Amino acid sequence: DIHHKVLSLNFSECHTKIRHVDAHATLSDGVVVQVMGLLSNSGQPERKFMQTFVLAPENQKMK
| Candidates 3.40.50.720, 3.10.450.50, 3.80.10.10, 3.40.50.1370; CATH matching 2-55 | 3.10.450.50
Which residues have CB under 8 Å from 18's CB, separation 6+? 35, 36, 37
**pLDDT tens column, 2-49:** 899 988 988 888 999 999 999 999 988 999 999 999 999 988 999 999
> Taking the domains of the chain in order of start, what are their residue ranges?
2-55
Confidence of residue 60 (pLDDT cuts 50, 70, 90): low
- Considering only residues 60 and 28, tell me which one the structure prediction assigns the higher pLDDT: 28
How far apart are the C-alpha atoms of 28 and 22, rounded to whole Å?
19
pLDDT at 59: 76
Confidence of residue 61 (pLDDT cuts 50, 70, 90): low
